[in-house]
Structure 1
């Protein structure tokens, strides 16, 4: 069976935007969509009156029923399944990620998914998931472009591959951004500075070459801005349908789950953000 796209829902507006994005992604990839609504651990019901348990269960089931109805109306041919597992959201989603193509979450939510953007749940899932994780805050339309940040690391190579795959599925352009900073940012333009810029551009072209061969249908635009990566990528995301980054790059310590660039872009990206880790 084809691995599904997994989406976490809680009934909030942001989780519904994540649902719409995930359903579209599943339709593009022609794979199942799995809708997950995480319940508190079962033991939390022990001291609750029976009526309260029933009320909570009905509301939770309603969240899932609404989500599946929305998807089936928009994509009647899409295979949709749902589940209401109990536990901590991060643990449940990390378990789901082991058997998923992608996990999709809204930037913020209610209940079990509260404050996903800045809280520990998002950081744990984005940093440790076995598959790509897409955080949906703003859903943009009319931008036929996938922006991807790269620095030559294994994580950014995985991000490049994911970006090209997405662009091919969507008929979109890839904007590859390799941001770098001159050691003396206020120095006048010199021959040495020009040489550094040329060196970085050549490196980017080398990283892109095999992917251009694999996806000849994808138009590629290269950018080598002399500025911090977060600023360059956040700016580019304002006119993109998706921003893709590796979970960490060359600047991180070995074993670091989530690098500073991807961490900051969770807050500053103006479009859905895909954080990709190399498959092991």
Structure 2
């Protein structure tokens, strides 16, 4: 069976936006959509049949029932599965990631893990999931553009591959951004600065070459802005349907789950953000 797109729902409006994104992506990929609403393990007997029945209240069941109905109305032919697992939200979602193609989460919500978007749960999922994680804050469509950050690191190369895959599915353009910072003043453009820009462009073209060959139908725009990566990518996200970054880049420290660029973009991206780790 094809790995599903797994969406965490909590009944909030932001959760609904994430659900719509996940359903559309599952439709494009022709894979199942798995809808998960995590029940906190509040009682010692919550894992028993009686405890689970008590915990899965009408409201909790209604969350997945409503989410399933929304998806079936939009995509009648999509294979939809729902689940009400009990446990620690981060642990549940990380376990789901082991058998998912992608985990999708809303940026914030009323309760559950959604309300902890910038807290420990979401950061654990984004930083440690074995599959891509997409955080949906602003739902954008119609730009026909997937923006991806590139720096040559293994995480960045995985992000580039995911971006080309998404662009091919959507018939969209890839805007590859390799941001760098000149050490000198920016008041003038020096010959040295020009030379550095050309070097960075050549590096970016080298990283893109195999992906261009694999996806010849995808239009590619290369950008090597002389500015901090967070600024360049956040600005580009305002005109994109999806922003893709690696979990860590060349500037990260070994052992950290999430780099500073991806961490900041969780707050500043103006479109859905996909955070990618290389599969082990």
Give TM-score scaled by structure 1 length. 0.95
Counterpart residue number, 1:13:
13
Tell whether the 8 Å contact from 2:105 to 2:114 is kept in structure 1 after alignment: no
Shift of 1:187: 5.4
Cα distance in 2 between the residues matched to 1:114 and 1:2: 26
Cα distance in 2 between the residues matched to 1:55 and 1:129: 27
Give TM-score scaled by structure 2 length. 0.95
Cα distance in 2 between the residues matched to 1:34 and 1:225: 39
Tell whether the 8 Å contact from 1:14 to 1:106 is kept in structure 2 after alignment: yes
Q: Deviations for 1:14-69, whole angstroms, at most 9, x for unmatched residues?
A: 000000000000000000000000001151677xxx9xx85861110000000000
Q: Deviations for 1:196-246, whole angstroms, at most 9, x for unmatched residues?
A: 000000000000000000000000000000000000000000000000000
Where does structure 1 lack aligned partners over 5 or more consecutive residues?
none
Aligned counterparts, 1:19-30, within 5 A:
19-30=19-30
**Is the partner of 2:245 in helix, strand or coil?**
strand
Residues 149/68 of structure 1: CA separation in 2 closer, same or farther (3 Å cut): same
Tell whether the 8 Å contact from 2:56 to 2:84 is kept in structure 1 after alignment: no
Counterpart residue number, 1:2:
2
Counterpart residue number, 2:210:
210
Cα distance in 1 between the residues matched to 2:115 and 2:69: 25
Cα distance in 1 between the residues matched to 2:144 and 2:261: 24
Counterpart residue number, 1:134:
134
Tell whether the 8 Å contact from 1:117 to 1:267 is kept in structure 2 after alignment: no
Tell whether the 8 Å contact from 1:134 to 1:273 is kept in structure 2 after alignment: yes
Worse-superposed segment, 231-240 or 176-185 = 176-185
Cα distance in 2 between the residues matched to 1:56 and 1:279: 34
Residues 193/117 of structure 1: CA separation in 2 closer, same or farther (3 Å cut): same
- What is the count of residue pairs matched by the alignment? 275
Tell whether the 8 Å contact from 1:42 to 1:86 is kept in structure 2 after alignment: no
C-alpha RMSD of the superposition: 1.5
Where does structure 2 lack aligned partners over 5 or more consecutive residues?
none
Counterpart residue number, 1:149:
149
Tell whether the 8 Å contact from 2:39 to 2:56 is kept in structure 1 after alignment: no
Cα distance in 1 between the residues matched to 2:67 and 2:115: 20
Shift of 1:115: 2.5
Tell whether the 8 Å contact from 1:127 to 1:247 is kept in structure 2 after alignment: yes
Q: Deviations for 1:89-129, whole angstroms, at most 9, x for unmatched residues?
A: 11100000000000000000122124232111111000000
